[in-house]
């Protein structure tokens, strides 16, 4: 009986195998290749340019890491070759190159294109504006990114937030700033709107590339300079060129951007588009986290090993700089409709963010200090 049962099972298995084996050929013919599978199999070779010097830590190295990750996540279907500033095109040509489709992707900061798109400055940073936390909240969840996408649309460029410097330092000065009059005649390397505010205060804003800043300060061609924060400032040796180091007011949370040519993006299948988007989120977080962590260590070293004293601008100096900032922003808004529209949205979100912060971060910080 037992032998018959075993034989029966074997026979049944054999029959199932024969029927099952025949099924694909008789009832399920091999599917034809669909158009989406052809796109899925296609490999895209993209070029990417940045505004950064080769090997610049936190900026350039993280962009290169992102390109490697895009290739890994796409199983090699999207390969991005990264060029630092000057390797393929001049750094400040990045926006044009992406806009014209010379390259598919770029990385920089929106205020670099202020000459062509003045309102873009709100997407990087403005003096006395929002910090990284507020910028991320506004861009991702408060309507800022939609405004940014609309602003770049005529240029065939899609922006993604992709990094944040955190609060930048106010810079290195070869004399103490005790009153607003100390800015009169001061030659300082300071870009963008901060530079315009300095000019209103009686100073001269210079825009020198990072490589020349330290020497210019040492030789007296400059009286002061800002750069980024303790990590990059230390790397540039600025503590050797000027004595007094001040906290910042002009770049409170500079957002970096990943920009993609809109036609190139549209040609990608949906999964590769999603990979690019997710890579930008990761880059945004990674750059910001590194800045915060590296600045902690660099500030400690500047203080302990190089005996740098961090001073503070007197409150009346900051009050005047703030007044001049509002004056500058209002003047720019009168000249450009996009600037005005985005300024209004930015201002509203900043005010709302400040009201929430008063009972969250600021309140909490006061509790910690009181302990
Ligand atoms: Ca800066």
Assign 105 to helix, strand or coil: strand
CA 90 to chain centre: 19
Which is higher by pLDDT, 18 or 351?
351
137 CA distance to ligand 1 middle (Å)? 22
> pTM score, two decimals?
0.88
Residues in a beta bridge with 159? 259
Residue 105 has which token pair? 């992707």
Integer Cα distance of 41 and 47 in angstroms: 20
Residues 297, 302, 305, 311: is their CA dihedral positive or negative?
negative
Report whether CATH 3.40.190.170 matches the domain 42-166+253-293: yes
155 CA distance to ligand 1 middle (Å)? 26
- How many CB atoms sit inside 10 A of residue 206's CB? 20
CB 189 within 8 A of CB 207: yes
Name the band, by pLDDT with cuts 50, 70 and 90, for residue 212. Answer: confident
- The pLDDT assigned to 13 comes to 45
- What value does the mean pLDDT take over residues 321-344? 98
What residue spans define the domains of the chain? 42-166+253-293
Residues 6+ apart with CB under 8 A from 102: 47, 89, 96
pLDDT digits (tens, 9 = 90+) for 237-248: 999 999 999 999
188 CA distance to ligand 1 middle (Å)? 12
Residue entry with tokens 């505010």: 197
The overall average pLDDT reported for the chain is 91
198 CA distance to ligand 1 middle (Å)? 14
- The pLDDT assigned to 370 comes to 55
Name the band, by pLDDT with cuts 50, 70 and 90, for residue 261. Answer: very high
Q: Is the per-residue pLDDT at 2 higher than 90?
A: no
Name the band, by pLDDT with cuts 50, 70 and 90, for residue 41. Answer: confident
CA 203 to chain centre: 29
CB 225 within 8 A of CB 213: yes
Name the band, by pLDDT with cuts 50, 70 and 90, for residue 23. Answer: very low
pLDDT digits (tens, 9 = 90+) for 123-166: 999 999 999 999 999 999 999 999 999 999 999 999 999 999 99
Integer Cα distance of 330 and 126 in angstroms: 13
Residue 230 has which token pair? 């303790």
Integer Cα distance of 106 and 237 in angstroms: 29
Closest CA to 54 of 88, 78, 104: 88
Assign 64 to helix, strand or coil: helix
207 CA distance to ligand 1 middle (Å)? 11
Integer Cα distance of 62 and 50 in angstroms: 11
Name the band, by pLDDT with cuts 50, 70 and 90, for residue 21. Answer: very low
Residue entry with tokens 């002009």: 250
- How many CB atoms sit inside 10 A of residue 357's CB? 17
- The pLDDT assigned to 294 comes to 98
20 CA distance to ligand 1 middle (Å)? 69
190 CA distance to ligand 1 middle (Å)? 7
């Amino acid at each position: 009986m037992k032998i018959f049962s075993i034989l029966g099972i074997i026979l049944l298995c054999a029959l199932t195998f024969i029927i099952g084996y025949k099924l694909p050929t008789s009832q399920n013919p091999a599917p034809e290749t669909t158009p989406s599978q052809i796109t899925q199999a296609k490999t895209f070779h993209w070029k990417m340019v940045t505004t950064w010097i080769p090997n610049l830590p936190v900026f350039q190295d993280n962009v290169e890491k992102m390109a490697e990750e895009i290739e890994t996540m796409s199983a090699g279907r999207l390969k991005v070759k990264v060029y630092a500033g000057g390797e393929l095109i001049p750094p400040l040509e990045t926006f044009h190159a992406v806009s014209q489709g010379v390259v598919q992707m770029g990385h920089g900061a929106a205020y670099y294109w202020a000459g062509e798109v003045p309102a873009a400055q709100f997407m990087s940073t403005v003096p006395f504006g929002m910090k990284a936390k507020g910028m991320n909240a506004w861009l991702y969840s408060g309507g800022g990114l939609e405004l940014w996408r609309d602003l770049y649309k005529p240029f065939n460029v899609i922006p993604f937030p992709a990094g944040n410097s955190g609060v930048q330092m106010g810079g290195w000065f070869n004399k103490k700033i005790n009153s607003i009059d100390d800015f009169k005649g001061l030659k300082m390397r300071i870009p963008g709107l901060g530079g315009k505010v300095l000019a209103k205060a009686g100073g001269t804003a210079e825009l020198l590339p990072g490589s020349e800043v330290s020497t210019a300060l040492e030789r007296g061609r400059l009286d002061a300079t800002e750069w980024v924060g303790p990590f990059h400032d230390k790397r540039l040796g600025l503590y050797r060129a000027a004595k007094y180091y001040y906290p910042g007011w002009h770049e409170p949370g500079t957002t970096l951007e990943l920009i993609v040519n809109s036609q190139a993006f549209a040609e990608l299948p949906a999964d590769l588009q999603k990979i690019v988007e997710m890579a930008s989120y990761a880059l945004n977080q990674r750059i910001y986290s590194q800045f915060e962590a590296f600045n902690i260590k660099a500030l400690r070293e500047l203080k302990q090993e190089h005996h740098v004293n961090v001073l503070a601008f007197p409150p009346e100096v900051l009050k005047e700089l703030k007044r001049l900032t509002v004056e500058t922003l209002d003047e720019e808004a009168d000249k450009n409709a996009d600037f005005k529209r985005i300024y209004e949205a930015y201002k509203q979100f900043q005010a709302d963010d400040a009201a929430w912060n008063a009972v969250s971060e600021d309140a909490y910080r006061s509790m910690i200090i009181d302990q």
